[in-house]
Structure 1
Amino acid sequence: MARFNTRATRAHTTSPVTTTGERTTTHTGGTGHLRDTKSELFLLAVTNLVGQDTFYETGGARDDRFTALIHLMAVEDPQWTLALLTWLRADANLRSAALVGAAEFTRARLDAGLAGHSRQAVDAVLRRADEPGEMLGYWTSRYGRRLPKPVKRGIADAVQRLYGERSLLKYDTAGKGYRFADVLELTHPAPAADKAWQGALFRYAIDRRHGRGDDVPATLTILTRRAELTALPPGERRALLTAPDGPQRLAAAGMTWEAVAGWLQGPMDAAAWQALIPSMGYMALLRNLRNFDQAGVSDEIAEKVAATLADPEEVGRSRQLPMRFYSAFNAAPSLRWGGALEKALTASLAGIPRLPGRTLVMVDTSGSMASSFSRDGSLMRWDAAALFGIGLGRACAHADVVSFSSARYYVTDAPGAKTKAFPLTRGGSVLGDVRRWKDGGWFLGGGTDTAAALRAEYAGHDRVVVVTDEQAAHDAGEVTDAIPAAVPMYTWNLAGYQAGHAPAGGTARHTFGGLTDQAFGMIPLLEAGRDARWPWETAG
């Protein structure tokens, strides 16, 4: 009788998020598994909206944990930490966590008397022209106005890349604590060698900040054209919107929709939007769909907007998180945007692989998943869980997608699961299914009896994916034992708490996390007998 060469035999594979073997308790009293430092930092980083409270952690406590982990890893493995921070800003598109991480990375290395890596970290996380000022705001509010060389030089490197006429017009506003001129005077960047005009831009930004004249150098053509439009009498400004060359003149002057709103000194009507839309960026279009409807933008223009939003190449260049499309769908319920947003969301989830066989997708909709995922409180963690769960379910050859929480009403009650299977709509859409999930009662609330839910719903599936914050309640059996040990269980972490609900890193138990589809691609790698690595290592 075969003991090793059986159909259930799988190659031993490893994944990067790893538990140490040490145990603790989750926030709700269940068995918790501690992760190594890199794994804890990674899961926290990819879910950390700096300063934002979660169900079990205040924003301050969460930020302190993030800072402590960054300080430790900046000394122990600076190259790994630099790679994490670079990926976090460039690919995961998480701005605040990357910026704070780079600042604290630098602080830790300075305190330890270590040279190298810090300048590169600061430069790597600054990818938009307002972010050098953000870095200065964070550093000086935390560590005072004395700037160490790595911070100065890293910011100066970023300024050479990022400062231009359009960025000056967009971001150098009186509402900022650190204007472009302040950044320039504190960090002293030289103009980039391949940007002959940048010296004039730097001088103009400083002169404007200190009230030393309004004359725009002739070499700065965009600023010159903006000055010409600003000088137009109010009565001529609206006429420009419908002139044959109106859209081109607005674009040539770097007029954003925010700038035009103030320039018109009146409402943004259809003519204003229609003149601006040809030069608006992807994010600006996505944010203003409701405004387009309310202003009465024509169907012809709306079709062009929809075509841009739905274009997979535009989606890729925009680097929008999948949740942005769901948020836009909720904000602009007009039917003329639904199809485009569905295509955009599908493109943003293109990294979810088609998995063969039968997959059980368990979506945690307990009370702790109702904590806010966005600063305006419009998106919850369970919204993200439903979106990823449904997106994965639709990509599988066969999937059972199940919402779960707890049937307990009191902590003294015996463990018991509350589950509700979600029937995926054949030929339907992810956005439509997420809306149906929300309206049809699949957000269950209550506690988190993960082990009981798995025992109730597992029925010989080839794999299990659990989308959760991992804060399982006490149960007589551990989460990892609720399904056969040989069946792969993949945990998709959406909160980054310290303790996990199961072992991770090998033996058919793996944990991923984040707000994009990137790590889903590790599943077929692991099932093909290949080890999975950190996202920035597998990207190449």
Structure 2
Amino acid sequence: MARFNARGATARPASPVTTTGRALTTHQGGRGHERDTRSELFLLAVANFVSQRTFHESGAERDDRFARLVRELAVTDPSWTAGLLGWLRGEGNLRTASIVGAAEYVKARLDAGVTDGPANRQVVASVLQRPDEPGELLAYWTATYGRALPKPVKRGVADAVRRLYHGKSLLKYDTASKGYRFGDILNLVHAAPDPDKPWQGELFQYALDRRHNPDTAVPPASSGVLVAHRELMELPVEERRAVVTAPDGARRLAAAGVTWEMLAGWLQGPMDRAAWEAVIPSMGTMALIRNLRNFDEAGVCDEVAAEVAARISDPVEVARSRQFPFRYLAAHQHAPSLRWSYALERALGHSLANVPALPGRTLVLVDRSGSMFYDRLSDRSRLTRADAAAVFGAAVALRAADADLVEFGSTSNRVKFRRSESVLKVLGRFGNLGGTDTITAVRRHYKKHDRVLIVTDEQYAYSHHGDPTEQVPAHVPVYTWNLAGYRAGHGPSGKAGRHTFGGLSDAAFRMVPLLEAARDADWPWAA
């Protein structure tokens, strides 16, 4: 009798975030599931803004857990850990976590005396992608482990310095507010100029002179931007407004590397309409989004505003910026002017490009419990994990062929929407629903759907019914999108139709169609 090779046999795909089978307790007292070490680190890393406390963990507790997991895996699984750190800084766009992770990776491997796997130097260089980041890594290392720098740290930072240092980066990031100036870093790591950049030797010397002899430092003639910048700085204050209002003012400011942050100080006066209109052409997309309200208050003209709106909603610009979708929600809340609303709606839609159009019937459950509202996405943001959950849940429901969108906490409610609506429109219908009763929400709203997707921090309260995923028939896939990275999961994961992914971008949704096509979904950097 055929037991396995039957006509109706189907594959049971696996996903990388897996549970061990060992029981834990959630922070709310529910029955939790332990994840393996790689899965715990991945979910914590993609949800972790370093030193940011959450409802159930202090910032120090989360940071210690992150460092401990990195150090363990740096020794036992170095290739996977190096891949995670490089992906975090690249596609994951998480700067601080990747920098801290790289430092801990090197320290653990040096302490253990291991040399297999990716080189420490390469891991350090891989996470340094912006010119201020070599200083960030050195500041973390010296604050944590003292001023003695191991060779792999020096060499990795030196590799990044050769790649990242140029005239504009020096003007933007080599400021007196930094603990480590460019000159300090060059002294510490002894970076040699890149042979393919003949101008870099003079630039390095100028960075050293700026640090140690600022009154006599002269920019090299080989750097047009530094020379142009010095010429502007030497203009009398009373003549500087004329540069801003001149027909070629925008060109001159851009050629001199003058950013919007520098401009007010250089003018020694307010950022009025003329000042903003002169610097807007050289501003990056996210700088534009951060300043929409300032543009309105200064009275930027409609023609320039239209150009700004076109840039921030351009799909190519949105993809290049690699910003999390909730950044556009924050901008919409901070700058509610109607002339930005449609552009921000479009930008948010473009930022959710990875959300799949799921066939069949989908139940989307969005956690709106108190802990989700307590947890801000960062110290500098007013947005919460509840906001992020609503963004992603609404996006899935709007894109799906047939979806039921539900918010849950102590109670649960259907959230009505029309497929023609924007995500921002739907967000206004979500509320704050108190405690976390995921199980009751699943039991109440599951009606023979083809799949269930739960966006949550997984910290549900105790229930005699088991875990939330057990409320759905075993043959129906349940996807949990974890937004907080706590240790205990609310259900099993990794196989048998139960899968967990995480993070604050839409990239995780790529797993869903892979798993439903009966193909195993691997870690994102291995795809």
Q: Does the pair score TM above 0.5?
A: yes
Secondary structure class of the residue paired with 1:208:
helix
Contact 1:50-1:96 at 8 Å conserved across structures = yes
- Give the Cα separation in 2 of the matches to 1:474 and 1:162: 51
Is residue 301 from structure 1 mapped to residue 289 from structure 2 by the alignment?
no
Measured against aligned partners, the alpha-carbon deviations of 1:261-287 in whole angstroms (never above 9, x if no partner) come to 100101001101111111111111111
Q: Aligned-pair distance for 1:511?
A: 0.2
- Give the Cα separation in 1 of the matches to 2:320 and 2:336: 25
For residue 415 of structure 1, what is the aligned residue in structure 2?
none
Contact 2:399-2:419 at 8 Å conserved across structures = no
What are the equivalent positions in structure 2 for 1:47-126 lying under 5 Å apart? 47-115=47-115, 117-126=119-128
Is residue 452 from structure 1 mapped to residue 440 from structure 2 by the alignment?
yes
Measured against aligned partners, the alpha-carbon deviations of 1:160-213 in whole angstroms (never above 9, x if no partner) come to 111111011011111111000000000011111211111101101101111161
Amino acid at match of 1:437: R
Q: Aligned-pair distance for 1:403?
A: 0.4
- Give the Cα separation in 2 of the matches to 1:396 and 1:476: 32
Q: Aligned-pair distance for 1:368?
A: 1.1
Is residue 465 from structure 1 mapped to residue 467 from structure 2 by the alignment?
no
Measured against aligned partners, the alpha-carbon deviations of 1:116-174 in whole angstroms (never above 9, x if no partner) come to 52111110111110010001110000000000001000100000111111011011111
- Give the Cα separation in 2 of the matches to 1:472 and 1:11: 31
Identity level (%): 60
For residue 407 of structure 2, what is the aligned residue in structure 1?
403
CA gap 1:112/1:234 in 2 versus in 1, 3 angstroms:
same
For residue 437 of structure 1, what is the aligned residue in structure 2?
429
Measured against aligned partners, the alpha-carbon deviations of 1:480-510 in whole angstroms (never above 9, x if no partner) come to 2111111100000000000100000010000
For residue 503 of structure 2, what is the aligned residue in structure 1?
514
For residue 536 of structure 1, what is the aligned residue in structure 2?
525
Contact 1:15-1:506 at 8 Å conserved across structures = yes
CA gap 1:325/1:266 in 2 versus in 1, 3 angstroms:
same
Gaps of 5+ in 1: 407-417
- Give the Cα separation in 2 of the matches to 1:220 and 1:13: 56
Q: Aligned-pair distance for 1:9?
A: 6.8
Contact 1:466-1:492 at 8 Å conserved across structures = yes
What are the equivalent positions in structure 2 for 1:152-301 lying under 5 Å apart? 152-211=154-213, 213-301=216-304
Secondary structure class of the residue paired with 1:362:
strand
- Give the Cα separation in 1 of the matches to 2:349 and 2:48: 24
Secondary structure class of the residue paired with 1:46:
helix
CA RMSD across the alignment: 1.6
Runs of 4+ in 1 over 6 A off after TM superposition: 2-9
Contact 2:17-2:501 at 8 Å conserved across structures = yes
Secondary structure class of the residue paired with 1:11:
coil
For residue 19 of structure 2, what is the aligned residue in structure 1?
19
Measured against aligned partners, the alpha-carbon deviations of 1:214-272 in whole angstroms (never above 9, x if no partner) come to 32221121111011111111221111112111111100000000111100101001101
- Give the Cα separation in 2 of the matches to 1:238 and 1:5: 80
Q: Aligned-pair distance for 1:443?
A: 2.1
Secondary structure class of the residue paired with 2:148:
coil
Select between 424-433 and 510-519 the one with higher mean Cα deviation: 424-433
- Give the Cα separation in 2 of the matches to 1:210 and 1:535: 45
Q: Aligned to 2:481, which of 452, 468, 492?
A: 492
What are the equivalent positions in structure 2 for 1:238-387 lying under 5 Å apart? 238-370=241-373, 371-387=375-391
Gaps of 5+ in 2: none
Contact 1:22-1:34 at 8 Å conserved across structures = yes
- Give the Cα separation in 1 of the matches to 2:95 and 2:516: 33
Secondary structure class of the residue paired with 1:466:
strand
Contact 1:129-1:162 at 8 Å conserved across structures = yes
Amino acid at match of 1:153: R
For residue 482 of structure 1, what is the aligned residue in structure 2?
471
- Give the Cα separation in 2 of the matches to 1:481 and 1:221: 65
- TM-score w.r.t. structure 2 length? 0.97
Secondary structure class of the residue paired with 2:480:
strand
- Give the Cα separation in 2 of the matches to 1:375 and 1:165: 31
Q: How many residues align?
A: 521
Contact 1:22-1:33 at 8 Å conserved across structures = yes
Q: Aligned to 1:427, which of 389, 414, 420?
A: 420
Measured against aligned partners, the alpha-carbon deviations of 1:374-403 in whole angstroms (never above 9, x if no partner) come to 212401110000000001111100111100
- Give the Cα separation in 2 of the matches to 1:231 and 1:425: 59
Is residue 149 from structure 1 mapped to residue 164 from structure 2 by the alignment?
no
For residue 409 of structure 1, what is the aligned residue in structure 2?
none
Secondary structure class of the residue paired with 1:363:
strand
Secondary structure class of the residue paired with 2:254:
helix
CA gap 1:347/1:216 in 2 versus in 1, 3 angstroms:
same
Amino acid at match of 1:386: A
- TM-score w.r.t. structure 1 length? 0.94
For residue 390 of structure 1, what is the aligned residue in structure 2?
394
